[in-house]
Amino acid sequence: MKALLPLEDAQQRLISMARPLPAETIPIGDALGRYVAEDMFARRSQPAADMSAMDGYAIRFEDRDGPWQIAGECRAGSPPCPPIKAGQAARIFTGALMPDGANTVVMQENIERDGDKIRLISEPSPDQGHHVRHAGGDFKSGDIALQAGTYLNPAALAHGVMAGLGNLSTGQRPKVAILSTGDELVAPGADTLPHQIPASNDTMILAMLSQLPVLARSINRIKDDMDSICEALESASDCDVIVTIGGASVGDHDLVAPAFERLGGQTDFWKIAMKPGKPLMAGKLGNSIVLALPGNPVSAFVTATLFLLPLVRYLAGANSPMPVMQAAKACSTLPPTTQRAEWLRAKVDEDGINVFNSQDSAKLSILSAANALLFRPPNSPEQPIGATVSYIAI
Ligand code: AMP
Ligand code: MG
């Protein structure tokens, strides 16, 4: 029997089959969830000049004990108010430019006002520059605002906008086709006969992809016959990735691999040393990367998490496309593993990580109750309670 391919090797080989897609420039307001294609530099400094961080009074630190004579008012959105001199203060609001001469702001809560005179009713400012946001204190013009490969979350978009960017160079969204096979599958919500099941993987995989920058479409419930599968594969030839679900084992009705080969597909790897998800196939068909996921719902979920999503992130321009591994303390003894890496459905909380008793790769009730996939490396000895283990949050 051919040796199973180690998990990391398979992940690496899949990424090696791909190239990040070319960049496209889009308005920053449309860039949520994309990856930055090239380093983008700040076109301005933030703040552009010293400004107040509080509503209060701008003073000279040298005069920090007061009292002061009010010599002007500085508002956000107005050019700087006139300079202040010794013994003077300017009324100032959050986000207003500091007037020349002033270097410190006293909060209005610490001041008592009498006409155009003010005095301190609390401790003097402890240091020069108190409650002042200094020019370039957040970032400077020319700094890298958004690094190539960064995921554009809401905060990154805000940073880009503040840096003066109106458009961003982002990776294009990969085109992904999802093809699910199986004579037993029926549409969501439809009544089922005992020999039928609702096609849950289709909805699940589309939902997993919806969190990434993709253009996804699906062809659902393809019949288990060569012609239907070939036709579906051909109709997706414009896609960067064709992901098939089901029909990837070696049963008589597992026709994805034969159909793929009939169309001239080149297999890169098949069968991974992992549990669940052993019968995973990857290859090239024309310009598309074909990833054939097993049909068992948990196997499909795990292989999509470890292979499909990283591939899509990589194509879309991510600099770290692999799932983030986290650490937790095991709440129970973990048995030794074989040559296959294992991904156990588990629940992580403040006490540690708990593995579900049943690890049946068809049980969606367990998968949906889990919030983590606990990783057990191949050939690992038993792990005691309290051992530090790795997991992926799901
Ligand atoms: P297969 O990989 O086609 O041998 O399928 C393995 C198991 O997964 C079988 O019990 C199938 O009925 C089930 N299965 C296959 N495709 C889907 C799907 N789209 N949704 C839910 N279960 C599926
Ligand atoms: Mg099947």
Q: What is the pLDDT of residue 66?
A: 95
| C-beta atoms surrounding 136 within 10 Å | 17
Average pLDDT over residues 60-71: 97
Inter-residue contact 180 to 202 (CB < 8 Å)? yes
CATH number for the domain whose boundaries are 51-133 = 2.170.190.11
199 lines ligand 1 (CB under 6 A): yes
What are the CB-based long-range contacts (under 8 Å, 24+) for 60-66? 60/84, 60/86, 60/101, 60/102, 60/103, 60/104, 61/103, 61/104, 61/125, 61/127, 61/128, 61/129, 62/86, 63/87, 64/104, 64/106, 64/124, 64/125, 65/120, 65/124, 66/118, 66/119, 66/120, 66/124
Average pLDDT over residues 157-162: 98
Give the closest residue to 7 by CA, choosing from 257, 343, 245, 331: 343
Gap from CA of 88 to ligand 2 centroid (Å): 82
- Looking at the CA of residue 248, tell me the nearest atom of ligand 1: 2
Record: fold of 23-44+140-171: Molybdopterin biosynthesis moea protein, domain 2 (3.90.105)
Answering whether pTM is above 0.85, one says yes
Who surrounds ion ligand 2 at CB < 5 A?
Answer: 182, 246-247, 295
203 lines ligand 1 (CB under 6 A): no
Which residue minimizes the CA distance to atom 5 of ligand 1? 295
Percentage of the chain beyond pLDDT 90 is: 97
Substitution site in 179, 183, 185, 302 for ligand 1 pocket (most atoms within 8 Å of beta carbon):
185
Which residue minimizes the CA distance to atom 10 of ligand 1? 296
Is the per-residue pLDDT at 22 higher than 90? yes
Average pLDDT over residues 266-271: 93
Which helix (H) or strand (E) covers residue 58, if one does? strand 56-59
The ligand with the least distance to the CA atom of 279 is 1
Q: What is the pLDDT of residue 339?
A: 96
Determine phi and psi for 153, rounding to 5 degrees.
-90, 175
305 lines ligand 1 (CB under 6 A): no
Rounded to whole angstroms, how far apart are CA atoms 241 and 200? Answer: 20
Is the per-residue pLDDT at 234 higher than 80? yes
DSSP code string of 3-34: PPBPHHHHHHHHHHT--PPPEEEEEGGG-TT-
Average pLDDT over residues 196-223: 97
Q: What is the pLDDT of residue 181?
A: 96
Q: What is the pLDDT of residue 64?
A: 97
Q: How confident is the model at residue 3 (pLDDT cuts 50, 70, 90)?
A: confident
Q: What is the pLDDT of residue 109?
A: 97
202 lines ligand 1 (CB under 6 A): yes
Rounded to whole angstroms, how far apart are CA atoms 335 and 166? Answer: 54
| C-beta atoms surrounding 115 within 10 Å | 7
Q: How confident is the model at residue 253 (pLDDT cuts 50, 70, 90)?
A: confident
Correct CATH for 7-21+172-316 of 3.40.980.10, 3.10.580.10, 1.10.10.60, 1.10.630.10: 3.40.980.10
Average pLDDT over residues 174-181: 98
Give the Å distances, CA to CA, from 280 to 213, 302, 305, 369.
Answer: 24, 11, 13, 25
Rounded to whole angstroms, how far apart are CA atoms 190 and 217? Answer: 21
276 lines ligand 1 (CB under 6 A): no
Which helix (H) or strand (E) covers residue 348, if one does? strand 341-349
Gap from CA of 174 to ligand 2 centroid (Å): 27
Substitution site in 197, 303, 360, 368 for ligand 1 pocket (most atoms within 8 Å of beta carbon):
197
Q: What is the pLDDT of residue 2?
A: 67
Inter-residue contact 132 to 80 (CB < 8 Å)? no
pLDDT mean across residues, the chain? 97
Gap from CA of 362 to ligand 1 centroid (Å): 9
The ligand with the least distance to the CA atom of 197 is 1
Is the per-residue pLDDT at 303 higher than 60? yes
Q: What is the pLDDT of residue 249?
A: 82
Gap from CA of 296 to ligand 2 centroid (Å): 9
Average pLDDT over residues 158-177: 98
Q: What is the pLDDT of residue 1?
A: 53
Average pLDDT over residues 182-199: 97
Give the Å distances, CA to CA, from 162 to 29, 48, 138, 154, 385.
Answer: 13, 11, 10, 12, 48
What is the length of the chain?
394
Burial 277-311 (b: 16+ CB within 10 A, else e): bbbbbbbebeebbbbbbbbbbbbbbbbbbbbbbbb
Is the per-residue pLDDT at 27 higher than 90? yes
User: pLDDT (tens digit, 9 = 90+) per residue, 93-145?
Assistant: 999 999 999 999 999 999 999 999 999 999 999 999 999 999 999 999 999 99
State the CATH class of domain 325-393: mainly beta
Burial (0-12, 13-18, 19+ Cβ within 10 Å), 29: exposed
Substitution site in 204, 244, 245, 255 for ligand 1 pocket (most atoms within 8 Å of beta carbon):
245
Gap from CA of 350 to ligand 1 centroid (Å): 35
Rounded to whole angstroms, how far apart are CA atoms 165 and 29? Answer: 11
Domain ranges of the chain: 7-21+172-316, 23-44+140-171, 51-133, 325-393
197 lines ligand 1 (CB under 6 A): yes
- Looking at the CA of residue 294, tell me the nearest atom of ligand 1: 2
186 lines ligand 1 (CB under 6 A): no
Gap from CA of 203 to ligand 1 centroid (Å): 13
The ligand with the least distance to the CA atom of 184 is 1
Gap from CA of 253 to ligand 2 centroid (Å): 7
